[in-house]
Structure 1
Amino acid sequence: MSNLIVHGGTPLAGRIVPSANKNAVLPILCATLLTREPVRLHGVPDITDVKKILEVFRSLGSSVEMDAKTRVLDLHHRDTCFDAARDRLPEEMRSSIMLVPGLLARFCSARIEDDVTGCTLGVREIDPHVEVFQRFGASVERQPDGLVLAVPARLRANDHWTDYASVTTTENFVLCAALAQGRSTLMNAASEPHVQEFCAFLKMLGAQIEGLGTSRLTIHGVERLGGGEFTFAEDFHEIVTFLALGAITGGRVEVKNSTPEQFPLIDRTFAKFGVQIVHENGWSRAETQGPLKVKEPFTRNILQKVEAAPWPYLPVDLLPIFVALGIKAEGSVMFWNKIYDGAMGWTSELSKFGGHAFLSDPHRMVTFGGKPLHPAEVESPYIIRVAIALLMVAASISGKSVIRNATPIRRAHPQFVENICSLGARIEWVDGE
């Protein structure tokens, strides 16, 4: 089922508990390959990318036991085997590249498939990852269907300064360094909450990592890692999404949030649309006073701005969520995606709702909000949060809308539609053509 039918116009209200962050879960799953000891993970979400990774583990001989009801996952890679000439990694899933360090450390070989992509956010190069693997001693051979990597023995430690603060490149460096011989240092490291959660998991296994939450990480390689139990935190993407759904529909939604210290900039971004975020007793809620309205800047003759870039900037994955608020709120906002060059080209779908948005260039969009909106049938690009943003706009409009090709939502958010319906929404999946 790939399309969503949205009967909008109902203010959403109630309490919701978010799932774990896909961007923490997937690298942590890949990190489990580094140890031969049993690992238990609590709160593993039921999403397609997780299923693909677990299927790879099963195909390699790992022990995988998933309790579908409790969402507890037991992994044991004691009997895992890998052959770069035979075994294939998941395609169309960016995170599969993080299986490479564990394979190199365990089997001295790995591969990168030609179709490792993920969401259609523009050019997503693999060169920074290949460079990291080479710095740890890997040779790289191009074959017709991908790259084959090999190391003669144990990975060797090194110091590296990345071109930009890439989340996945940072995680691949840490994965390689955890078992490398010697001390490794990474400058310009990404520091997003999910990177911090990923490093906390590795430290639980026995990795020696210094500098969590900063742009400089130091890793002292160890001989081996142990096992243990780990519980995932709530996904801040989902927290923001549910808060925004409450705000855009004129409702009152409360979301469980154990990390409000990560939200000051996110809270101020909501305030630019007339939305106040309140954090109390482990829960967060969005409060509005009447229709949404863009806050005018004090500086004359400039637009209100929302700029997204690597943490501690506003996370770029959240930008579409605020674009939806910009379409609804009275006033104009300039949105600036400072990372991806192909993530803003969906203004034509917003116009089908009657929204007014102008694409200034591949990185910048201006919304002229507060226009009369009407139900529509729109088509989502293969970008998780854009599909959700289109759903948000539809949910705020009385009448029936259709979001075609909304499947990317399933990659990150388990039971997403069911959760929204528990807040009073009328949304359902239907088969696409």
Structure 2
Amino acid sequence: MSNLIVHGGTPLVGKIVPSANKNAVLPILCATLLTREPVRLRRVPEITDVKKILEVFRALGSSVQVDFARGVLDIQHRHTLFDEQRHRLPEAMRSSIMLVPPLLARFGMARIENDVQGCTLGVREIDPHVEVFERFGGRIERRPDALIVRSNGPLHATEHWLDYASVTTTENFVMCAALASGTSTLMNAASEPHVQEFCEFMKKLGAHIEGAGTSRLTVAGVDALGGCEFTFTEDFHETVTFLALGAITDGDVRVKNSTPGHFPLIDRTLAKFGIHVTHEAGWSRARIDGRLQVREPFTANMLQKVEAAPWPYLPVDLLPIFIALGVRSHGSMMFWNKVYDGAMGWTSELSKFGAHAFLSDPHRLVTFGGKPLVPAEVESPYIIRVAIALLMVAAGIEGRSVIRNAAPIRRAHPRFVENLRQLGARIEWAEVPAQDPLRVSGT
């Protein structure tokens, strides 16, 4: 188990270049399997999920050459083979379901493990993905330990309307449609920045896609995709995280940001806590005047609120970051998670810092900020941004705190601790051996 030791109370100051967005990197890695031609990717982050997918590619016989120090990956799937009996997709990684479309297109078969999972954000069904595979001509076979997806011949174009604007389902639809015969249309498509980045990569491979960044995608299938070079942009999640860390520690952090056009709603949400964001010459900066303070709404007798839902709403993945700001800010704020049931159960850990947070139902939370906070030892669930949110609270409190089970951070953010140290944080990893359950139980 990996814990983070945080000696808080130090203002963070300096410049940071964020890593690439995991939610763009992983689907793009899966999409490389659609082509036999060489692909070069730049700014590839050294994170656990990337390494797992590259291990799968090597096991399938693909050519993989990676230099994480330079962030360069050269990959080619010319001699790739897949055998449903021998090959298994990673179970501890939700994004492995995005390997199904290229496997289906290349080999006419794919496998979905029963226990495929990612962060513990609540129930995350695979039914929408199965519906997409079936719409393109896939047949589903249930087995005790997996679902087998097969197709008789090439995939065929389809029209589909998602009941929910799912990022991963949208990306799976695009990968199925790219090599299908005919023109496919998807309504209620996800439009997040990482979906737009994924579509840009697909177009570089030669896919014909219209409507990226909107709720309606049209994909005209082609006979084959080619190779390309592609450079990942900065992760907007990480940009917001470092800006918020600067604000919560009363510091001054500048973050490289090539896509300020994605930030108007994020900037306005930060302003609700008294944080002013500027974007100049490719860099973003967050400052506060005096202290973190919840801005009173003009509507009388109502709480100020932060609502998170699929893009172009405020991204739900960032909600824990704003909850951390709410705990530190003077005043009350309501947070509304419109996506996941029960994803805010972790907020009970905030009470160990002395914070007051009231969970009114599975989707809504109210923070009563400005309370005196103390260092604490807290437990993070297996959710990337929650571990970071607990770290943020600790960083703003003078004294030693421990974030237990903080390893999920490594799934998305390479050199996260090193970057914080560069800004002046006193923080370090502590590897703790897993406890023997028999010894714990006393038997």
TM-score (norm 1): 0.99
Partner of 1:223: 223
Separation of aligned partners in 2, 1:334 and 1:115: 34
Partner of 2:182: 182
| CA displacement 1:383-414 (0-9 Å, x = unmatched) | 00000000000000000000000000000000
Separation of aligned partners in 2, 1:135 and 1:303: 44
Shift of 1:197: 0.2
Q: How is 1:162-173 mapped onto 2 (pairs within 5 angstroms)?
A: 162-173=162-173
Output the amino acid matched with 2:126.
I
Q: Confirm whether residue 423 of structure 1 aligns to residue 423 of structure 2.
A: yes
Shift of 1:212: 1.1
Partner of 2:312: 312
| CA displacement 1:112-134 (0-9 Å, x = unmatched) | 01111100010000000000000
Residue aligned with 2:218, SS: strand
Separation of aligned partners in 2, 1:324 and 1:88: 38
| CA displacement 1:244-282 (0-9 Å, x = unmatched) | 000000000000001001100000000000000010100
Separation of aligned partners in 1, 2:109 and 2:307: 40
Q: How is 1:194-233 mapped onto 2 (pairs within 5 angstroms)?
A: 194-233=194-233
Output the amino acid matched with 2:53.
I
Contact 2:385 2:409 in 1 (8 A): yes
Partner of 1:161: 161
Contact 2:44 2:68 in 1 (8 A): no
Contact 2:353 2:374 in 1 (8 A): yes
Residue aligned with 1:266, SS: helix
Separation of aligned partners in 2, 1:2 and 1:145: 30
Separation of aligned partners in 1, 2:129 and 2:24: 18
Partner of 2:441: none
Shift of 1:241: 0.2
Separation of aligned partners in 1, 2:75 and 2:162: 32
Contact 1:307 1:337 in 2 (8 A): yes
Task: State the percentage of identical aligned residues.
Answer: 77
Output the amino acid matched with 2:47.
I
Partner of 2:140: 140
Residue aligned with 1:103, SS: helix
Shift of 1:84: 1.1
Output the amino acid matched with 1:329.
S
Q: Confirm whether residue 127 of structure 1 aligns to residue 137 of structure 2.
A: no
Separation of aligned partners in 1, 2:186 and 2:116: 24
Residue aligned with 1:40, SS: strand
Shift of 1:68: 2.3
Partner of 1:275: 275
Residue aligned with 2:420, SS: helix
Residue aligned with 1:181, SS: coil
Separation of aligned partners in 1, 2:193 and 2:138: 29
Separation of aligned partners in 2, 1:42 and 1:347: 37
Partner of 2:350: 350
Separation of aligned partners in 2, 1:169 and 1:381: 25
Q: Confirm whether residue 34 of structure 1 aligns to residue 29 of structure 2.
A: no
Partner of 1:61: 61
User: Which consecutive residues of structure 1, in runs of 5 or more, have no partner in the other structure?
Assistant: none
Contact 2:38 2:75 in 1 (8 A): yes
Partner of 2:71: 71
Output the amino acid matched with 1:399.
G
Separation of aligned partners in 1, 2:142 and 2:414: 37
Output the amino acid matched with 1:120.
T
Contact 1:3 1:406 in 2 (8 A): yes
Residue aligned with 2:345, SS: coil
Q: CA RMSD of the aligned region, Å? A: 0.6
Shift of 1:342: 2.6
User: Which consecutive residues of structure 2, in runs of 5 or more, have no partner in the other structure?
Assistant: 434-443
Partner of 1:99: 99
Contact 1:9 1:397 in 2 (8 A): yes
Contact 1:192 1:213 in 2 (8 A): yes
| CA displacement 1:42-96 (0-9 Å, x = unmatched) | 0000000000000000000000000122110000000000011221000111100
Separation of aligned partners in 1, 2:105 and 2:342: 34
Contact 2:45 2:68 in 1 (8 A): no
Separation of aligned partners in 2, 1:194 and 1:328: 30
Residue aligned with 1:408, SS: helix
Residue aligned with 2:429, SS: strand
Partner of 2:191: 191
Residue aligned with 2:101, SS: helix
Separation of aligned partners in 2, 1:413 and 1:287: 24
Residue aligned with 2:202, SS: helix
Output the amino acid matched with 1:359.
L
Residue aligned with 1:294, SS: coil
Separation of aligned partners in 2, 1:62 and 1:131: 29
Output the amino acid matched with 2:415.
Q
Separation of aligned partners in 2, 1:91 and 1:28: 19
Partner of 2:8: 8
Contact 1:405 1:432 in 2 (8 A): no
Contact 1:404 1:432 in 2 (8 A): no
Separation of aligned partners in 2, 1:66 and 1:342: 39
Residue aligned with 1:74, SS: strand
Q: Confirm whether residue 412 of structure 1 aligns to residue 412 of structure 2.
A: yes
TM-score (norm 2): 0.97
Residue aligned with 2:261, SS: helix
Larger mean Cα displacement after TM superposition, 340-349 or 301-310: 340-349
Separation of aligned partners in 2, 1:219 and 1:146: 30
Output the amino acid matched with 2:422.
S
| CA displacement 1:208-235 (0-9 Å, x = unmatched) | 0000110000000000000010000000
Shift of 1:291: 1.3
Output the amino acid matched with 2:77.
H
Output the amino acid matched with 1:112.
I
Residue aligned with 1:243, SS: helix
| CA displacement 1:96-122 (0-9 Å, x = unmatched) | 000000000000000101111100010
Separation of aligned partners in 2, 1:48 and 1:265: 31
Separation of aligned partners in 2, 1:342 and 1:223: 44
